Structure 1
Amino acid sequence: MSKLFKFIIFTGLVVMANPTLSSAQTGVTNKYKCMIQMSNYMGDGAYIVISLIDSKGLYDKTLYVLGSDKKWYNSLKEWNKFYAKKTATISAITGASVAGGDRSVNVIDIETAKINAGYKLRFESAVEDKNYYVKDVEIPLTTETLSAKNEGTGFIRYVRFSAN
C-alpha cells in the first residue's frame, strides 16, 4: 500500500472516531437560495447586506451584499464598521442593488454547524436619501426560520429561503 493511501485511510478513521472533528471544524456549508421581496417604495435601488451575527450580537461573517459600488457601503453604517476592519474581498458575494417592488434571488453559503447554534441572520438595508434599517430583517439562524417567510421592517417586505 502506498504511503498516501495509508495516510488517507488513517485520516478518515481518525475523523470518524473523533466527534470533536465535526463539520464545525471542517467548514461544511450548505447552499440556500435567498429570495428578498422588496416593499413598494419610490427611489433608488436599495443596498442590502446579509450578515451572520454571533450569539453576542457581533458580526461573524458577510454572506452577501446587494449593491456593488463600494462608495455607498458607508450607508450600511453598522456593517461598514465591521467591513472596514476586516477588509475581506467580497466580490464573489456581491450583486446588484434591488429597486422598490422588485425581488432578488441569490445563493448564499451557510456553515451547517452555525444553524441552531445561537447565530442570527441580519439583513441591513439603505437607500440613498432615505432611511437606513440596521435590522430590516433579523432572524435566529434555525432550521425553522430557514423554511419560513420572514417579514421585513423597512425596505424589505419579506425574505424566504430554500435549500439549493
Structure 2
Amino acid sequence: MFKQFFVAVFLSLITGSAFAQTASYKCMIQMNSYQGEKAYVIVSLINPKGQYERTLSVLGPDKQWFNTLKEWYKFQGKAKEKISAVTGASVGGGDRAMITLTIDKKKVNAGYTLRFETAVEEQKYHSKDVELPLTTAALAAKTDGKGYIRYVRFSGK
C-alpha cells in the first residue's frame, strides 16, 4: 500500500513539474527577399556565458547541409542532440515560417539568449542573424534580422 502511494506521488510530481516548467512560444520568422536556395535556420538557446545549451528548432531537413551552419554544427558535433523532433522545412526568400519553441520558464529573464543562425547554399552564413535576450519584453517585441531574416516575432505562451 505504501509502495503504491509513493509511486503515485512520485509520478504526479514528475508529470506535474514537467508541464509546469515549460512554456510554448509561437514564433514567426519573416525572411528577406533574396535570390537563391531556401535558407537553413537554426534556433538555439544560449546560456548566460554565451555557450550553446540546446537546439530549439532546425528549419532545413537535409543533414548534409548542417555543416554550413558552422557555429551550431561545432556544438552539435559535441552535444549529439537528437533533433528530429524539432526539424522542419527550410524557408525561401520572402517566405515566412511559423514554429513553436518550447522553453523552460526558468530560463526567461535569467540571462539567456535566443540565437537564429542562417545559411543559404553558396551564399553568406550568418552566425547571429537574429539574437535576442530571452526576456518577457523581447518575446513581446519584433526583432529585426541582419541577414536572410527580415524579422522574428513571438506570440502567445
Normalization by structure 2: what TM-score? 0.90
Partner of residue 19, structure 1: none
Larger Rg: 1
| Separation in structure 2 between the aligned mates of residue 161 and residue 91 of structure 1, nearest angstrom | 23
Instruction: Specify the alignment match of 1:98 in structure 2.
Output: 91
- 1:27·1:111 contact (CA, 8 Å) conserved in 2? no
- The code of the aligned residue for 1:82 comes to F
After superposition, what is the alpha-carbon deviation per residue over 1:28-60, rounded to whole angstroms, capped at 9, x for unaligned?
111111110000101100000000001110000
- In structure 2, distance between residues paired with 1:163 and 1:44: 31
Question: What aligned pairs does 1:6-155 form with structure 2 within 5 A after superposition?
Answer: 28-155=21-148
Structure 1 unaligned regions, length at least 5 = 16-22
* Shift >4 Å, 4+ stretches: 6-12
Structure 1 residues 152 and 8, CA gap change in structure 2 (3 angstroms): same
Q: Which residue of the partner structure matches residue 20 of structure 1?
A: none
Aligned-pair identity in percent equals 54
* Matched residue SS, 1:134: strand
When normalised by structure 1's length, the TM-score is 0.86
Q: Partner of 2:90: helix, strand, or coil? A: coil
How many residues get paired? 153
